[in-house]
Amino acid sequence: MDEFAARLRALRERTRAKALYVSALPNIRYLTGFTGSAGHLLVEPEQATLFTDGRYRTQAREQTDGVVVEVSAGDSRPALAASVRSLRLKRLGFEANRLDYETHSFLDGELPHCRLVPLKAEVESLRQIKSAAEVEAIRRAVDLNSKAFDEVCSIVEPGWTESRLAAELEYRFRSLGGEGPAFPTIVASGAHGALPHAQPRPEAIKPQSLVVIDQGAILDGYCSDMTRMIAIGHPDETQNKLLQAVLEAQEAAIDAIRPGVECRTVDSRARQVLRLTTVGGTRLDTMFTHSTGHGLGLEIHEGPRIAPRQRQKLQAGMVVTVEPGVYLEGRAGVRIEDVVVVTERGCEVLTSTSRALRVLGESGASQNG
Ligand code: ZN
Ligand code: ZN
């Protein structure tokens, strides 16, 4: 049985629904291999049917195997509704966390004798546990991301703008064989770095400032995600304090990762370390304003969430980021992020790039500091 057939079977076993309508494109891709931008998947006990439009006639048949492909001239939702009617289905499960209101209303109107039953994140739950092939795909995306970072670090010079640095990275995501960025690249220097999701500005990176670089490439559909710090000139005492604390927090969180551990435990390990350091009388854990990490795969943000109050237990095959950060308003931000796979006995960090600060000298050559 190929990987897609196994996933469809796992979904059927999980939901025990007679028929399930999958509307989210990443979920359709996960279950069938189809990568088009328009599609609706009907999963029945013995058959799966992909409804799409004429633009994907060839692609849908090439990318899928063991799936019935129905091609419509335009919108393929009427064909989906007609199929459900012809099957005389009394209940149809749908993705409550994904289906848009308009499509739900349309199906409700077209299917007066069929009850639409909300199902919550069933495919996403399956997707949390990666197969060996998926872990390798993520590893390749992570390696490509690291290569782009290394190449840009070898040519970056004082005077570059944040936008230039982001553009050079994103250019390499494609030129090195990837599909592009998994999310808008973050390059944030100095006080701008204190905004966790800062957008790159067309402003030159100033000497003596820390730069947060949060980047991710997509390769063969799978995402990578990494945050590293660079600086022009050596950091001062406060900057060093932030860097050291975040590094230790990240290491403590990674050390806690193994099957059976609750996500909130991993999150609290990072916070416990940050609590031990203060800057200007303020504890660093109070400046850590987001969660410690997230799953990733076909999408950049997947389950599980490594966050406070998350009692979900880690399992082998989960792939998560570990990315504590501290944000000193008006001064600087520091975040360090790696991708980690949970193994049978512990975990493996997939990101190979050194976590050390890259200090860029006046000459432009970068070095590990
Ligand atoms: Zn990131
Ligand atoms: Zn992330």
Same domain, 193 and 295: yes
Amino acid 232: pLDDT: 87
Average pLDDT across the chain, whole number: 95
Ligand nearest to the CA of 227: 1
Domain count of the fold of the chain: 2
CATH of the domain at 13: 3.40.350.10
Same domain, 226 and 328: yes
Same domain, 152 and 234: yes
Same domain, 277 and 316: yes
Same domain, 168 and 314: yes
Single residue among 104, 127, 150 that ends a domain in this structure: 127
Q: DSSP string of 163-207?
A: HHHHHHHHHHHHHTT--EESSPPEEEEGGGGGSTTPPP-SSBPPT
Q: Which amino acid is at 276?
A: L
CA distance 113 to 85: 8
Q: Name the least confident of 42-46, 105-109, 193-197, 317-321.
A: 193-197
Cα-to-centroid distance, 215 and ligand 1 (Å)? 6
Same domain, 248 and 325: yes
When pLDDT is averaged across residues 283-296 and rounded to a whole number, the result is 97
Amino acid 173: pLDDT: 98
Cα-to-centroid distance, 337 and ligand 2 (Å)? 7
CATH of the domain at 271: 3.90.230.10
Single residue among 127, 157, 176 that ends a domain in this structure: 127
Rounded to 5°, angle at Cα 213 from 27 and 283:
100
Omega prior to 324 cis, within 30 of 0: no
Cα-to-centroid distance, 212 and ligand 2 (Å)? 13
Same domain, 147 and 122: no
Same domain, 147 and 230: yes
CA distance 177 to 323: 26
Same domain, 36 and 123: yes
Give the DSSP H/E element, type plus range, for residue 226.
strand 226-232
Q: DSSP string of 99-115?
A: --HHHHHHHHHH-TTSE
Same domain, 10 and 33: yes
Same domain, 189 and 241: yes
pTM: 0.95
Residue 282 pairs with which residues in a beta bridge?
279
Cα-to-centroid distance, 38 and ligand 1 (Å)? 28
pLDDT digits 0-9 by tens, 127-136: 999 999 999 9
* Cα within 13 Å of Cα(24), Cβ side: 19
Same domain, 92 and 193: no
The yes-or-no verdict on residue 364 having pLDDT over 70 is no
Which residues span the domain enclosing 238? 132-368
Amino acid 366: pLDDT: 55
User: Would you place residue 369 in the very low, low, confident or very high pLDDT band (cuts 50, 70, 90)?
Assistant: very low
What are the two backbone dihedrals, phi and then psi, of residue 137, each rounded to the nearest 5 degrees?
Answer: -65, -40
What pairing do the DSSP bridges indicate for beta strands 319-322 and 338-342? antiparallel
CB-CB contact of 243 with 329 (8 Å): no
Tell me the percentage of the chain whose pLDDT exceeds 90.
Answer: 93
Ligand nearest to the CA of 305: 2
Cα-to-centroid distance, 357 and ligand 1 (Å)? 16
The yes-or-no verdict on residue 169 having pLDDT over 70 is yes
What are the two backbone dihedrals, phi and then psi, of residue 359, each rounded to the nearest 5 degrees?
Answer: -95, 120
Ligand nearest to the CA of 212: 1
Single residue among 62, 96, 127 that ends a domain in this structure: 127
User: Would you place residue 361 in the very low, low, confident or very high pLDDT band (cuts 50, 70, 90)?
Assistant: confident
pLDDT digits 0-9 by tens, 49-107: 999 999 999 999 999 999 999 999 999 999 999 999 999 999 999 999 999 999 999 99
